[in-house]
Amino acid sequence: MKFLLTCLFIFLISEAEAVPSLISDANEDGFPDQWYELTDGRVTTLKVDRDYDGRIDCLVKYSKMGKVTYEEYDYNYDGMMDDYYFYDDGRLIREEIDTNFDEKVDVWVYLFEGIYIEKIEQDSDFDGQIDLVQEYGP
């Protein structure tokens, strides 16, 4: 029974946005911690509260084909997203990181073929200007 309850999703229709969503309570504390937004029966967005503090710290968007198109994470769980992933046709093409958690991205990592680093740009003194560029040939 416990297993059943854990896996059971409560189906809710959000009236405000008219976007059907599935909500789940993975740790069974009575508060939702996973939200699935659906379009035509497919999950288009997943939001997760991984540390169960009531704030979303993971957001994933999916294409019609079910491929990840975008992700963002709040790695230090301060309520602000600080790590962003951009995908093209299911392949990671760019990662943007706010390494000092001041809500401004300061590292940009460009990739090719989803896994190889092509270039890293960095704002090492956090003044908003890129001051370090490392390029890696294919």
Q: Which of 6, 76, 124, 134 is close enough to bind Ca ion by CB under 5 A?
A: 76
Q: Does 104 bind Ca ion (CB under 5 A)?
A: yes
| 3-state SS assignment for residue 7 | helix
Q: Using the rule CB under 5 A, which residue among 44, 98, 109, 111 binds Ca ion?
A: 98
54 burial level (CB within 10 Å; 0-12, 13-18, 19+): exposed
48 vs 63 by CB, closer to Ca ion: 48
Where helices occur in the chain by DSSP H, the ranges are 2-7
* The one among 42, 55, 64, 67 contacting Ca ion by CB under 5 A: 55
Other beta carbons less than 10 A from residue 132's beta carbon: 12
C-beta of 11 vs 31, nearer to Ca ion: 31
Q: What are phi and psi of 84, to 5 degrees?
A: -125, 135
Nearer to Ca ion, 124 or 134 (CB): 124
Q: How far apart are CA 92 and CA 97, in angstroms?
A: 14
One residue of 21, 36, 37, 57 binding Ca ion per CB under 5 A: 57
Point out which residues bind Ca ion (CB under 5 A). Answer: 49, 51, 53, 55, 57, 74, 76, 78, 80, 82, 98, 100, 102, 104, 106
